[in-house]
Structure 1
């Protein structure tokens, strides 16, 4: 019997949106449990900093800047990871965008396309670019970062919620079609997590109180709350889980 089901030694992980917040936590935790982590985000300096902190802690990491709205960058991210480490075992599709906050009718066509391109299409394209490697290995774990907004839309986050709902279904499609190759796909739906990305929400006293009034676990979430769940889904501890939707929201949706 395997005694350390969280051991990721020999595994290679790509984490997008990894320069801060949830993505950084995921990268740090995966590396701490033995994975070689490719830290990716838009700015090279930012991912260099995270990779260096992993190296200083005794882990292994490579920083590769990539804009997830650019198909060439996405393909290069998968290609460079394979060239560097020879395999791809774990993908954490965490990068996301939400350039609008307010009534849905105020979302412009350009903003709509940007949200869908980064929040849905990029996740598909990175997984697809990594698919030949995972098929050859007969193994892989894809972890897509959705939101509770993908289950129940929240005011001001209309099209963002649509994109996150689409990501939930995309995950299920991946699980259904790619399971025959030994590839698992699961999706995490965080609640309100205190990150820079969600700062406009948790710094708004009215919104924060709305959440707090409905939280059985009476606190806002932290990046490590999501990082730990990501570690579980990346590891053999979740070997029989695929196509599953995991909420981590302090009980908000109950």
Structure 2
């Protein structure tokens, strides 16, 4: 399949992009012509990822950035603008899941970390980036299908991902009409981040059976969906979440009694 060149001349920042879903998003945007700014917490990781992307002919700029570090977030934006003079696309992909405890058993410090990285960092990153974003620019926030149905082993993580659905709606209104803001909610994808789930053969089979397509997603699936939302092909889409899960159940459920209050 020939990959289109929808991002020729555009500059895209992708956070947490040295492996997994983030790397595939950066790769897809780069193969479509974007100058891609990748980032991660460690210098070695960004260097290795940058070499892999350059080997495919992609123009890549690598910056160390821990998204919960205010100075490093600012550096990511400032260095991008210094090098390219603008920002066309921001993909907020960074996330953490440091606990498998139930919500009421989760330590306060862990709750703070989950909120800091999974939600607050996206807001602060876009606060720094917004003044440099072009008319017709795009933001894609990476959430998760767990935001619709938080599983017991990652319940608070799921709650932070639910928050991103609301954040997408709110920012779409706030950043309109010059910048579109959308979200993708990946299903279960075999990555290092999800290995504690997808490496378990029985659990993996059960997850596959929950999909209509009878398979887990790939990082390339997520890259393709993100590229669509970020591209001009989606120029009349904003404030929306696209679920990329092979048909797994994926909607917030409103009880009938609550709905009847408004009828």
TM-score by length of 1: 0.94
Matched, 1:252 2:251: no
* Distance of 1:78 and 1:97 partners within structure 2: 21
SS class of match (1:157): helix
Question: Take 1:56 and 1:216, find their aligned partners in 2: how far apart are those partners?
Answer: 36
List aligned pairs for 1:208-219, cutoff 5 A: 208-219=204-215
Quick check: 1:87 aligned with 2:86? yes
Q: Secondary structure, in 3 states, of the residue corresponding to 2:153?
A: coil
Structure 1 unaligned spans of 5+: none
1:70 matched to which residue of 2? 69
Match of 2:257 in 1: none
Q: Which has more radius of gyration?
A: 2
Counterparts of 2:187 and 2:202 in 1: how far apart (Å)? 16
1:236 matches 2:232: yes
Q: Of the candidates 140, 143, 154, which is equivalent to residue 143 of structure 1?
A: 140
Paired residue for 2:29?
30
Distance 1:148 1:76 in 2: 31
* 1:158 match: 155
CA distance in 2, matches of 1:6, 1:251: 28
Q: Is the 8 A contact 2:182 2:238 kept in 1?
A: yes
Aligned residues: 248
CA contact (8 A) 1:6 1:236 kept: no
TM-score by structure 2 length? 0.91
Superposition CA RMSD, Å: 1.4
Cα deviation, residue 107, structure 1? 1.2
Residue 5 of structure 1, CA deviation: 7.0
**Distance in 1 of aligned mates of 2:5 and 2:228:** 7
Q: Distance in 1 between matches of 2:135 and 2:248?
A: 37
Residue 227 of structure 1 is matched in structure 2 by: 223
Gaps of 5+ in 2: 251-263
151-160 or 79-88, larger mean C-alpha shift: 151-160
